[in-house]
C-alpha cells in the first residue's frame, strides 16, 4: 500500500494516464496524415514504437522528479508529508480531461452516437456504392502510367465480382482524372456513397501504394492505408485483395464463399506476364486498330510467359472480338482464334466472368442461338458489377431478338454502373426509339451529346432520329457533317450522308459519300446495304445488285439486299429461287397460320407477299399481308403525336427520286416502302387496304 500511495504522491499514475491519452491522440493524427502526405507505411509504426519506448522513460522521470514553482527538483528534496493538490496536479488533471473530451468527441462522430448518419448507413445510402477514382502515378517515369492504370483497372475488375457492391465502371470514373471537383461533388455525379482515392509509385523492385476510403456525405476518411511491398505478382494481388476486403467490410457487403475465393485468387505468379497483361488491357481502351493489334501481341507474350494465365486468354478473345468490330478482320478469321482462346480460358478457370463474357461474344459472332443469353447471364452472375455484360446482353435482346422491352432494364442496369458511358447512353436512346418513345429517344441522344460532346456516334444516331423519325433532313445533314469533323474515319458518317443526299435527290454527292464509306469499311455490311439503296435510286441496277449480294453474304438477315436480289431473279425468270430464299430465312412465313410480324421481319414480309401476288396465290397473300398491314398501320399511328405519320417526302418535296424504289405495281406501293417510319407512305397504305379489287 505504501508503494501505491507513493506512486500517487509522485503523480506517476496521473503522468502515465496523461501520456497514454496524448499518445492515443498522436496516433490518431498520424493515422490520417501519413496517407495524406504519402509517407511510407513504416512512418506510423515508427511513431508507435517511439511512443511505446517513451512510456517507461516518462514514468521514471515522474517518479524521480517534480515540477515545482521554483523549478524541477528531485523527489528526495521535497517534503513527503501529504498536502492539498498542487498546481502541477491540477495541470495534469486538465490535460487528462481535455484529451478525454477529444476522445469522446471522436468516438461520438465515428460511431454515430446521437443518431447521426455514419459508417453503417453508408452502404445503404445508395446501394452500397463506391467509385474508385483513377490512381495517381507517383513514379519517376511517365512510362509507368500503364502500370498505375492497370492496377486501378484490376481493382475495379476485382470489385465488380462482388455482388453486394455497386462499383462505377472505368469509363465514368476516368472523366474525373485530375479533377478539381470535391469528393462530394464527384460522388453526386456518379451516384455513390463512397469514393476511393489512391496513388501508386514503383521504384526498382519495390511498390508503394496509398489508398483512402472517403465518406462522400461528409468528406470524412473512413479508412486509409499505405502498402510498401516487394514488386511481385503475389504481392500486387494480395494488396488488391486486402483493399477489396476492407471496402466490402466498410460498406457492410456480405461476401459469398465464391466471392471470397475470387478476392483471394492469384491469377498468375509471373510478374512479367502480369505486366504484359496490364499493357494489353490499356491498349484495348482506345479501340483503335494499331492499339488493338498491339494488345494481341501483349496478350500472346503474357501467355508465353505463363501458359496457365486464364485472364490473358480471356483478354485475347476480347481483343479479337474488337478487331472484328472496329478493325478489318473478317468473321471467318476471327471465329477460330476467339474459339481457341475462350476454350483455354474456361478450361483453366470455368468461373472466370471475363471468359464467360468472351464466350458470349463468340456465340454472337457465330450466329443466333439460345446459348447466347444463357452465357451472358452466366457472365453477369460471376461479375455482377461489370457494366459491359448488361450492355451487350441488352443489345442482343434489342438487335438480335427484337425485344427492346427486355433490353431496356438491362441497359438501365449498365448505366447504373457506368452513368457517363457515351456508348451505353446512346444505346438507351436507340432502345427508346425501338419502343416508339421517340421524344424520349431524342432527349436521351441530346443527353449523350451533353456528357460526351466529342462522341461522333451520338451525332450519327441523332441524325438518324431527325431524318427517319421526325423528317428533318436539313438537321440530319448538319449533324452528319459535324460528326464527320469529329471522326473523319467513321464509316457510319459517310453511309448516313449518302442516305440523306440520296433522299435529297443529289445522286452525285450520295455516290461520293457511299464510295468513301466503302473505302473505309470494305467488309462493313451497312456500307454495302446503303450502297445498294443509293445505286438503285441513281438508276445503276447492276452496281446495286453487286452490293446487295455482298451485303447478303455478310449478313443474310437484312431484307433490303434480298429485295434487290429478288427483283433480279424475277427478271431472269427465277421467282421460285427468290421465294425459297425467303422461306428459308423466314420460316414463320410458311410455318404459322397467322405470322407474327415485327420490325425485324416486316420488310421481308411485304417482299415475300409480292412474290405471292406475282404467283396469283390470293389466300396465301392475304395470310401474310393482313398482319403485315396491321403492323405497319400501328407503326404509323405510333410515330407522331398526332396519331398519324404524314408522308413527309411529299410535304417537303425532298425525296423526288424515291419512287424508283417502289415495286412494279404502283397500286401496292405503300406496302413496299422501306420499313423506317419516314419511308412508309401512309396514304398509299390506306389506299392499298381499301382497294376493293384486291380483296375480291
Whole-number pLDDT of residue 483: 92
Q: Label residue 605 by pLDDT band (50, 70, 90).
A: confident
Q: CA-CA distance, 458 to 445, in Å (whole number)? A: 6
Are 11 and 62 in contact by the 8 Å Cβ rule? The answer is yes
Let me know if residue 631 belongs to a domain. Answer: yes
Mean pLDDT value across the chain: 80
Whole-number pLDDT of residue 504: 86
Residues 341 and 480 in one domain: yes
Residues 106 and 129 in one domain: no
Let me know if residue 652 belongs to a domain. Answer: yes
Query: What are the residue ranges of helices labelled H in 285-386?
Result: 289-305, 310-326, 331-348, 353-366, 371-382
Q: What is the pLDDT of residues 459-497, one digit of tens each?
A: 999 999 998 888 888 899 999 999 999 988 888 899 999
Rounded average pLDDT over 328-337:
84
Residues 246 and 348 in one domain: no
Residues 166 and 298 in one domain: no
Q: What is the pLDDT of residues 499-532, one digit of tens each?
A: 999 888 899 999 999 999 999 888 888 899 999 9
* Residue indicated by cell numbers 403492323: 631
In which element (H, E) is residue 370 found? none
Whole-number pLDDT of residue 468: 82
Query: What are the residue ranges of helices labelled H in 111-192?
Result: 119-125, 145-160, 170-173, 183-190
Whole-number pLDDT of residue 367: 78
Cα atoms found within 13 Å of the Cα of residue 504, Cβ hemisphere only: 18
Q: CA-CA distance, 474 to 468, in Å (whole number)? A: 12
Whole-number pLDDT of residue 99: 62
Considering only 19-28, 129-138, 342-351, which range has the smallest mean pLDDT?
A: 19-28
Let me know if residue 132 belongs to a domain. Answer: yes
Query: Crossing angle, helix 271-284 and helix 310-326, to 10 degrees?
Result: 20
Q: Label residue 618 by pLDDT band (50, 70, 90).
A: confident
Last residue of a domain, one of 206, 229, 264: 264
Residues 226 and 323 in one domain: no
Distance of alpha carbon 456 from its chain centroid, rounded?
A: 18
Instruction: Check pLDDT > 50 for residue 685.
Output: no
Residues 87 and 125 in one domain: no
Residues 320 and 242 in one domain: no
Are 640 and 633 in contact by the 8 Å Cβ rule? The answer is no
Considering only 189-193, 260-264, 611-615, which range has the smallest mean pLDDT?
A: 611-615
Q: Which cell numbers in the block locate residue 111?
A: 460511431
Residue of higher predicted confidence among 10 and 523:
523
Q: CA-CA distance, 239 to 244, in Å (whole number)? A: 9
Residue of higher predicted confidence among 153 and 6:
153
Could you tell me the CATH number of the domain that includes residue 207?
A: 3.40.50.10610
Residues 155 and 180 in one domain: yes
Considering only 315-319, 357-361, 630-634, which range has the smallest mean pLDDT?
A: 630-634
Last residue of a domain, one of 470, 497, 514: 514
Whole-number pLDDT of residue 625: 83
Whole-number pLDDT of residue 68: 57
Are 168 and 195 in contact by the 8 Å Cβ rule? The answer is no
Are 674 and 650 in contact by the 8 Å Cβ rule? The answer is no
Percentage of residues of the chain with pLDDT beyond 70: 77
Considering only 32-41, 305-314, 534-543, 579-588, which range has the smallest mean pLDDT?
A: 32-41
Whole-number pLDDT of residue 90: 59
- Quick one: which of 190, 199, 200 has its CA closest to 169? 190
Q: What is the pLDDT of residues 359-414, one digit of tens each?
A: 999 998 887 788 999 999 999 999 999 999 999 999 999 887 878 999 999 999 99
DSSP 255: P
Rounded average pLDDT over 549-568:
86
Residue of higher predicted confidence among 317 and 74:
317
Instruction: Check pLDDT > 90 for residue 63.
Output: no
Residues 503 and 599 in one domain: no
Last residue of a domain, one of 514, 540, 573: 514
Contacts of 633 (CB under 8 A, 6+ apart): 685, 689
Are 418 and 132 in contact by the 8 Å Cβ rule? The answer is no
Q: Which cell numbers in the block locate residue 371?
A: 446459348
Whole-number pLDDT of residue 69: 55
Rounded average pLDDT over 569-574:
91
Instruction: Check pLDDT > 50 for residue 310.
Output: yes
Q: CA-CA distance, 491 to 526, in Å (whole number)? A: 9
Rounded average pLDDT over 589-599:
83
List the beta bridge partners of residue 196.
132, 213
Number of separate domains in the chain: 4
Whole-number pLDDT of residue 96: 63
| Owning domain of residue 186 | 119-264
Burial class (CB in 10 A: 0-12, 13-18, 19+), 672: buried
- Quick one: which of 167, 322, 153 has its CA closest to 236? 153
Q: CA-CA distance, 606 to 612, in Å (whole number)? A: 10
Let me know if residue 563 belongs to a domain. Answer: no
Let me know if residue 41 belongs to a domain. Answer: yes
Whole-number pLDDT of residue 670: 36
Rounded average pLDDT over 306-314:
96
Query: Crossing angle, helix 353-366 and helix 310-326, to 10 degrees?
Result: 30
Residues 219 and 357 in one domain: no
Whole-number pLDDT of residue 103: 61
Instruction: Check pLDDT > 70 for residue 580.
Output: yes
Rounded average pLDDT over 17-26:
77
Let me know if residue 528 belongs to a domain. Answer: no
Residue of higher predicted confidence among 37 and 588:
588
Let me know if residue 568 belongs to a domain. Answer: no
Residues 223 and 284 in one domain: no
Q: Label residue 86 by pLDDT band (50, 70, 90).
A: low
Q: What is the pLDDT of residues 411-461, one digit of tens each?
A: 999 999 999 999 999 999 999 998 889 999 999 999 999 999 999 999 999
Length of the chain: 696
Of the ranges 51-55, 505-509, 645-649, the best mean pLDDT one: 505-509
Could you tell me the CATH number of the domain that includes residue 472?
A: 1.25.40.10
Let me know if residue 103 belongs to a domain. Answer: yes
In which element (H, E) is residue 668 found? none
Are 345 and 314 in contact by the 8 Å Cβ rule? The answer is yes
Cα dihedral sign for 28, 29, 35, 40?
negative
Conformation bin of residue 367: beta by default, left when phi > 0, alpha when psi is -120 to 50: left
DSSP 398: I
Work out whether strand 194-203 and strand 220-230 pair parallel, antiparallel, or are unpaired. Answer: unpaired
Whole-number pLDDT of residue 275: 94
CA angle 672, 678, 681 (to 5 degrees): 45
Residues 391 and 304 in one domain: yes
Amino acid at each position: 500500500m505504501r508503494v501505491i500511495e507513493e506512486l500517487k504522491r509522485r503523480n506517476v499514475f496521473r503522468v502515465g494516464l496523461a501520456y497514454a491519452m496524448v499518445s492515443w491522440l498522436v496516433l490518431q493524427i498520424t493515422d490520417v496524415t501519413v496517407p495524406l502526405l504519402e509517407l511510407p507505411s513504416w512512418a506510423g509504426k515508427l511513431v508507435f514504437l517511439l511512443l511505446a519506448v517513451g512510456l517507461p522513460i516518462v514514468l521514471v522521470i515522474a517518479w524521480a522528479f517534480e515540477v515545482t514553482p521554483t523549478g524541477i527538483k528531485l523527489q528526495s528534496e521535497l517534503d513527503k508529508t501529504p498536502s492539498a493538490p498542487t498546481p502541477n496536479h491540477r495541470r495534469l488533471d486538465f490535460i487528462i480531461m481535455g484529451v478525454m473530451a477529444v476522445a469522446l468527441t471522436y468516438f461520438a462522430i465515428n460511431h454515430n452516437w446521437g443518431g447521426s448518419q455514419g459508417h453503417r448507413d453508408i452502404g445503404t445510402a445508395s446501394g452500397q456504392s463506391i467509385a474508385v477514382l483513377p490512381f495517381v502515378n507517383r513514379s519517376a517515369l511517365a512510362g509507368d502510367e500503364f502500370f498505375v492504370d492497370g492496377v486501378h483497372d484490376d481493382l475495379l475488375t476485382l470489385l465488380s465480382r462482388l455482388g453486394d457492391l455497386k462499383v462505377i465502371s472505368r469509363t465514368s470514373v476516368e472523366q474525373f482524372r485530375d479533377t478539381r471537383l470535391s469528393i462530394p461533388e464527384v460522388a453526386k455525379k456518379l451516384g455513390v456513397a463512397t469514393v476511393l482515392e489512391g496513388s501508386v509509385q514503383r521504384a526498382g523492385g519495390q511498390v508503394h501504394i496509398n489508398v483512402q476510403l472517403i465518406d462522400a456525405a461528409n468528406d470524412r476518411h473512413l479508412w486509409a492505408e499505405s502498402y510498401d511491398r516487394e514488386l511481385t505478382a503475389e504481392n500486387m494481388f494480395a494488396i488488391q485483395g486486402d483493399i477489396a476486403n476492407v471496402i466490402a467490410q466498410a460498406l457492410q457487403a456480405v461476401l459469398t464463399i465464391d466471392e471470397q475465393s475470387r478476392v483471394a485468387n492469384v491469377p498468375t505468379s509471373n510478374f512479367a506476364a502480369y505486366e504484359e497483361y496490364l499493357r494489353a488491357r490499356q491498349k484495348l481502351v482506345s479501340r483503335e486498330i494499331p492499339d488493338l493489334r498491339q494488345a494481341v501481341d501483349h496478350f500472346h507474350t503474357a501467355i508465353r510467359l505463363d501458359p496457365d494465365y486464364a485472364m490473358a486468354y480471356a483478354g485475347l478473345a476480347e481483343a479479337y472480338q474488337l478487331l472484328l468490330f472496329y478493325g478489318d478482320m473478317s468473321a471467318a478469321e476471327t471465329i477460330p482464334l476467339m474459339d481457341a482462346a475462350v476454350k483455354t480460358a474456361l478450361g483453366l478457370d470455368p468461373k472466370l466472368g471475363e471468359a464467360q463474357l468472351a464466350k458470349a461474344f463468340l456465340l454472337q459472332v457465330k450466329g443466333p442461338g439460345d446459348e447466347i443469353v444463357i452465357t451472358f447471364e452466366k457472365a453477369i452472375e460471376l461479375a455482377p458489377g461489370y457494366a459491359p455484360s448488361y450492355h451487350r446482353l441488352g443489345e442482343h435482346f434489342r438487335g438480335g431478338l427484337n425485344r427492346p422491352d427486355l433490353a431496356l432494364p438491362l441497359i438501365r442496369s449498365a448505366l447504373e454502373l457506368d452513368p457517363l458511358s457515351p456508348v451505353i447512353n446512346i444505346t438507351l436512346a436507340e432502345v427508346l426509339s425501338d419502343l416508339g418513345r421517340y421524344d424520349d429517344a431524342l432527349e436521351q441522344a441530346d443527353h449523350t451529346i451533353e456528357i460526351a460532346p466529342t462522341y461522333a456516334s451520338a451525332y450519327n444516331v441523332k441524325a438518324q432520329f431527325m431524318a427517319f423519325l421526325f423528317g428533318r433532313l436539313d438537321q440530319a445533314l448538319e449533324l452528319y457533317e459535324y460528326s464527320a469533323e469529329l471522326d473523319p474515319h467513321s464509316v457510319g458518317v459517310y453511309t448516313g450522308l449518302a442516305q440523306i443526299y440520296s433522299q435529297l435527290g443529289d445522286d452525285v454527292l450520295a455516290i461520293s459519300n457511299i464510295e468513301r464509306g466503302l473505302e473505309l469499311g470494305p467488309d462493313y455490311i451497312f456500307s454495302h446495304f446503303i450502297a445498294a439503296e443509293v445505286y438503285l435510286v441513281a438508276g445503276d441496277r447492276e452496281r446495286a445488285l453487286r452490293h446487295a449480294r455482298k451485303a447478303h453474304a455478310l449478313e443474310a438477315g437484312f431484307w433490303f439486299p434480298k429485295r434487290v436480289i429478288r427483283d433480279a431473279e424475277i427478271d431472269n425468270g427465277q421467282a421460285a429461287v427468290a421465294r425459297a430464299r425467303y422461306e428459308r430465312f423466314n420460316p414463320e412465313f410458311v410455318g404459322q397460320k397467322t405470322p407474327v410480324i415485327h420490325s425485324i421481319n416486316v420488310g421481308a414480309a411485304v417482299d415475300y407477299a409480292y412474290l405471292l401476288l406475282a404467283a396469283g396465290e390470293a389466300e396465301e397473300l392475304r395470310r401474310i399481308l393482313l398482319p403485315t398491314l396491321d403492323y405497319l398501320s400501328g407503326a404509323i399511328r405510333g410515330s407522331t403525336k398526332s396519331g398519324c405519320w404524314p408522308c413527309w417526302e411529299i410535304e417537303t418535296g425532298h425525296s423526288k427520286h424515291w419512287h424508283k424504289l417502289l415495286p412494279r405495281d404502283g397500286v401496292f406501293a405503300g406496302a413496299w416502302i422501306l420499313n423506317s417510319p419516314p419511308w412508309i407512305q401512309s396514304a398509299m397504305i390506306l389506299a392499298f387496304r381499301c382497294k376493293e379489287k384486291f380483296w375480291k
